[in-house]
Each structure stands twice: as structure tokens, then as C-alpha cells.
């Protein structure tokens, strides 16, 4: 194999490594909750009466509205996170969120990867192989988190948990399965904006790749500069920060 072929083969391997890493840690940002699948109650022999159905729908809509309100009430948020992919690989870091639509996943020092949104697009930046991928926010499962009014109010569905203090909401567009889905888990908390604290979420992409993200040490209303959501483009040293 000549030197040119070796270089091409090496570039192909790096590209494959990048693609696997991007899928593993980039877009499928999930939170493990064993997706609560308890059935709705309120009926006889498991069959809901019309009155029980109406009450369930009303309760569901109230909880959905509360979740939208809770997310919209967050001006800024910093939290530590642990992210686990479908293979059980875990990585930790710090999440920073700012309305509208900005988010940054700063991974631990030995992970040369950055996931960041500037309010318009979501980027997966791999400094190890000097590559960047970009997706419109609406095409990512994180769209519901970054734009809750649009995604959750239109495409959200309450998933019963059997615990009045836990609210689980799945968001997906049935007409756009390629966009994936995200299930967000909230716990009622008087100290959180809107009375609900997002503790974890589960994102599933179109290839059924699942990732789990758990949050802890939430800090609301902290000062966050817009520069936090810019990044150095590794593809060309002459490129300006995005």
C-alpha cells in the first residue's frame, strides 16, 4: 500500500471514528428513566369510563402546560451532567443553558468533544479529528428543550409515572420520525422555576440510538455571556469563532 493509500485509509478511519463518536455523545442526548409505561387508571377492569378519560385528559394537559411553563421560566441554568450512551459508556461535564435556544455541553477535559447551540443551529465539534457537524435545532431531539413552546405544546404527550411528584413528557413529531424523540423527566420542586425541576431526559434518534443525561446541582439565574455559545472551529485555524 503506497503512502497516498495509507493516508486515505487513515482519513477514512478517523471519519468513521468521528461519526461513531458523534452518534454516541452528540445528538442522542437522553435521560434514563426506564420510560414509565404504567397504564392509565380510573376505569372498571382497566377500561376507563368517559368521565375518567375526560379527567385524565384535563390532568395531562395541566401537567403538560406546567412543564412548558417551567422550561420557559428558566432564563439561565448551569448544572453538572452525566451522559450515558446505549453501550453503557459514560462521560461527565457541565451544561449551560440560556434562553432563547442556547445550550452548551462542556465535556470533561479528556473528551475532546463539544455540543453547542447558538440559538439557530446545533453543532457537534470534535477537536480530536478537527470536524464539525451542524443540524437545525428543529431536527434534533433537543428542540423540545430549546424551544418548549413550539415542540412540547404541539407534540408533547404525558407519560404516566404513578408518582404525583414526577412528570414525564415525551415529545416527538409523528410526521417527522427522522427528527427523533425526547422524553423529559421533571420532579416537583418549590425552588425550581415554574415548580418543576428537569432532572434527566431520554433522547432517541431515528436509528434508535439512546443516550441518558442526568442533571444535578442545578443553578438558576446565573450570569451567562453570549460568548459561552461560540466555539473555535477546528477545521481551519484562520476561521473565526462561530
CATH topology for the 3-229 domain: outer membrane lipoprotein receptor (LolB), chain A (2.50.20)
Q: Residue 107 and residue 114: Cα distance in Å, rounded?
A: 7
- Identify the top-confidence range among 21-30, 127-136, 183-192: 183-192
Q: What is the pLDDT of residue 110?
A: 83
DSSP letter at 32 equals: -
Q: How far is CA 202 from CA 4, 163, 186, 224, 240, in A?
A: 43, 18, 12, 26, 34
In this prediction, residue 239 has a pLDDT band, given cuts at 50, 70 and 90, of low
Angle formed by the axes of helices 50-72 and 148-155, nearest 10°: 170
Between these two residues, 83 and 147, which has the higher pLDDT value? 83
The two most distant CA atoms of the chain are separated, in Å, by 76
Residue whose entry in the numeric block shows the C-alpha cell 442556547: 102
% residues pLDDT > 70 (the chain):
71
Mean pLDDT of 49-76: 72
Q: What is the pLDDT of residue 60?
A: 73
- Full-model pTM: 0.72
Task: Find the helix or strand (DSSP H, E) in which 45 lies.
Answer: none
Question: In this predicted model, what pLDDT tens digit does every residue of 186-230 receive, in sequence order?
Answer: 999 999 999 999 999 998 877 788 888 999 999 999 999 999 999
Q: What is the pLDDT of residue 148?
A: 76
Q: Residue 222 and residue 224: Cα distance in Å, rounded?
A: 6
Between these two residues, 134 and 57, which has the higher pLDDT value? 134
Contact between 219 and 48 (Cβ < 8 Å): no
Strand partners, 77: 97, 220
Question: In this predicted model, what pLDDT tens digit does every residue of 134-149 receive, in sequence order?
Answer: 888 776 667 778 777 7
Amino acid at each position: 500500500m503506497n503512502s497516498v493509500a495509507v493516508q486515505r485509509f487513515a482519513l477514512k478511519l478517523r471519519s468513521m471514528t468521528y461519526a461513531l463518536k458523534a452518534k454516541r455523545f452528540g445528538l442522542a442526548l437522553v435521560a434514563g428513566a426506564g420510560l414509565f409505561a404504567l397504564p392509565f387508571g380510573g376505569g372498571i377492569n382497566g377500561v376507563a369510563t368517559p368521565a375518567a378519560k375526560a379527567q385524565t385528559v384535563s390532568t395531562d394537559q395541566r401537567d403538560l402546560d406546567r412543564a412548558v411553563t417551567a422550561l420557559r421560566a428558566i432564563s439561565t441554568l448551569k448544572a453538572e451532567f452525566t451522559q450515558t450512551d446505549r453501550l453503557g459508556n459514560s462521560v461527565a461535564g457541565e451544561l449551560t443553558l440560556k434562553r432563547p435556544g442556547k445550550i452548551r455541553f462542556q465535556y470533561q477535559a479528556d473528551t475532546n468533544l463539544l455540543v453547542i447551540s447558538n440559538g439557530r443551529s446545533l453543532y457537534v465539534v470534535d477537536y480530536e479529528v478537527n470536524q464539525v457537524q451542524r443540524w437545525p435545532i428543529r431536527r434534533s431531539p433537543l428542540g423540545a428543550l430549546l424551544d418548549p413552546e413550539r415542540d412540547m405544546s404541539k407534540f408533547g404527550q404525558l407519560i404516566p409515572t404513578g408518582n404525583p411528584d414526577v412528570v414525564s413528557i415525551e415529545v416527538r413529531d409523528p410526521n417527522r420520525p427522522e427528527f427523533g424523540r425526547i422524553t423529559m423527566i421533571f420532579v416537583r420542586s418549590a425552588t425550581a422555576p415554574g415548580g418543576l425541576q428537569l432532572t434527566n431526559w431520554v433522547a432517541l434518534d431515528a436509528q434508535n440510538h439512546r443516550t441518558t443525561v442526568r442533571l444535578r446541582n442545578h443553578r438558576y439565574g446565573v450570569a451567562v455571556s453570549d460568548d459561552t455559545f461560540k466555539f473555535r472551529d477546528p477545521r481551519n485555524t484562520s476561521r473565526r469563532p462561530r
